[in-house]
Amino acid sequence: MEMTITEKIMARNSGRDHVVPGQLVWTDVNSVMTMDYLGKQCFDKFRSLGKEEVFDKDRVICVSDHLVPPPNQKFATMLNEWREVVKQHDITHFYDLGRQGIAHQIMVEQGHVLPGTISIGTDSHANTYGAVGAVGNAIGVTDAAVAMATGKAWFRVPQSVKFHITGEWQPWVMAKDLSLHIMGMMHWNGHLIYKTLEFTGPAIKSLDMAGRMTLCNMTVDLGAKNGIIAPDTITKKYLDKVAKGSWDMIASDDDAHYDAVYEVDVTNLGPTVAMPDKLDDTVPVEKVIGIKFNKAFVGTCTNGRLEDLAVMAKIMKGKQIHRDVNMIVVPASQTVYLNALRAGYLETLIEAGAAVDTPSCAACAGIHTGVAGDGDIVLSAGNRNMKGRMGSKNAQIYLTSPSVVAASAITGVITDPRTFDV
């Protein structure tokens, strides 16, 4: 019986030769991730199961990302309690302030997720791990506590949907544009609830790891269980440097069953923008050119990577950000930060008038570092734009790619990077 990659991963990690959609299985997990604002509760719950030691100290990954650096005393105290509990359990991999990053970036860039395995995290964008051919799944504190104790999690094997992506990527068009395009095409939380989304085709083969992470990251916002891209030479090149553990190439069988197959040709795909409040209300950038905004934000687990900063630096080199725009750039991890610094990208962005802040989830979670106030119009390369997401309910958030944010920050109005004089 032929299987899709996600079915194969569920079978392999539950000690079965074969699984079918709808089947309920307990699987081994490769890594369990938790972070600062929920982590202590995971450990507390874990101990309430009657265990003292986690199933594997190398496989429980702890990250400080939502609350760092603490903007107030409440978060500072929460972080202290968090550090205490991580220390108490002698966790090997603790990415705390100074070595921090957004958890999903850390999980991939530090090699904690591997093709053919399942990793879970207590934050919804854990779907990002699909970029390397892993099943990445967001879970709650309860599932994390159970996995910390047992190394296992339960799953209902999802039905598979294929997105076959063909054509040539046009200049300045990014994986984010494809994500937003699919969001508009499928509609938010429509037909893809509980499904696994597999991305295949020549335009995926040519996509770098940063783009693959963006694409898989936003599958959670489509309502999907996970998004996945089978490992290939790009994956291997990336993982050779970082993988913590061995892995093998895994792919869907040729005759595997998909509930639905959708084709997208990126040759016709331009920069794309999601209108305020609704993620699935997306339009080609041409429809919104000239709209004024006063805040620009690039960062997050969706678009805070080196490749994103590189594109922005190319667009913004030698230019000045418009006087009516405040721009904040937050690299997704300390590694990204350092590499962007060494490559000169941050120098370019700072010279253009951008404020660069230390890696964290920043204003994406509406908690700190550039939150939105009443009347703000934000052009963001983040992942969510519902009312109040970045702070005030009286702010508007347009979501788009880093290249659109970069070009627009210079002009002060939403701008098509393809027509921008670089």
What is the contact surface with other proteins in residues (CB under 8 A)? 14-15, 24, 26, 37-38, 41, 45, 48-51, 66-67, 74-75, 78, 122-124, 138-143, 145-146, 149-150, 152, 154, 188-189, 193-194, 220-221, 223-225, 365-367, 384, 386, 388-389
Q: Are the C-beta atoms of 182 and 217 separated by less than 8 Å?
A: no
Q: Are the C-beta atoms of 376 and 357 separated by less than 8 Å?
A: no
Edge-first strand listing for the sheet containing 282-284: 282-284, 272-274, 396-399, 377-380, 295-298, 326-329, 355-356
In this complex, which beta carbon is closest to other proteins, that of residue 365 or of residue 378? Answer: 365
Q: Are the C-beta atoms of 305 and 334 separated by less than 8 Å?
A: no
- Residue 78 neighbours by CB distance under 10 Å: 18
The number of angstroms, rounded, from the C-alpha of 137 to the middle of its chain's C-alpha atoms is: 12
Q: Minimal distance in Å, beta carbon 138 to other proteins?
A: 4
In this complex, which beta carbon is closest to other proteins, that of residue 363 or of residue 381? Answer: 363
CA distances from 310 to 103, 121, 205, 279, 292 (A): 21, 28, 21, 26, 25
Distance in angstroms (rounded) separating the CA atoms of residues 261 and 263: 7
Q: Minimal distance in Å, beta carbon 168 to other proteins?
A: 31
Q: Minimal distance in Å, beta carbon 288 to other proteins?
A: 23
In this complex, which beta carbon is closest to other proteins, that of residue 135 or of residue 309? Answer: 135
In this complex, which beta carbon is closest to other proteins, that of residue 9 or of residue 203? Answer: 9
Q: Minimal distance in Å, beta carbon 279 to other proteins?
A: 9
Q: Locate tokens 């923008």: which residue?
A: 273
The helix/strand/coil state of 349 is helix
In this complex, which beta carbon is closest to other proteins, that of residue 143 or of residue 198? Answer: 143
CA distances from 186 to 74, 85, 177, 201, 271 (A): 40, 42, 14, 19, 18
- Residue 147 neighbours by CB distance under 10 Å: 29
- Retrieve residue 116's tokens: 């053919």
Q: Minimal distance in Å, beta carbon 93 to other proteins?
A: 21
Q: What's 169's DSSP letter?
A: P
Q: Are the C-beta atoms of 107 and 121 separated by less than 8 Å?
A: yes
In this complex, which beta carbon is closest to other proteins, that of residue 203 or of residue 218? Answer: 218
Q: What share of the chain is helix, strand, coil (3-state, %, to 5)?
A: 40, 20, 45
In this complex, which beta carbon is closest to other proteins, that of residue 248 or of residue 374? Answer: 374
In this complex, which beta carbon is closest to other proteins, that of residue 32 or of residue 414? Answer: 32
Q: Minimal distance in Å, beta carbon 193 to other proteins?
A: 6
Q: Minimal distance in Å, beta carbon 30 to other proteins?
A: 17
Q: Minimal distance in Å, beta carbon 111 to other proteins?
A: 24
In this complex, which beta carbon is closest to other proteins, that of residue 150 or of residue 206? Answer: 150
Q: Minimal distance in Å, beta carbon 399 to other proteins?
A: 13
Q: Which residues pair with 292 in a beta bridge?
A: 413
Q: Minimal distance in Å, beta carbon 223 to other proteins?
A: 6
CA distances from 92 to 57, 60, 95 (A): 6, 8, 10
CA angle 56, 231, 237 (to 5 degrees): 85
In this complex, which beta carbon is closest to other proteins, that of residue 139 or of residue 399? Answer: 139
- Residue 18 neighbours by CB distance under 10 Å: 12
- Retrieve residue 389's tokens: 């997401």
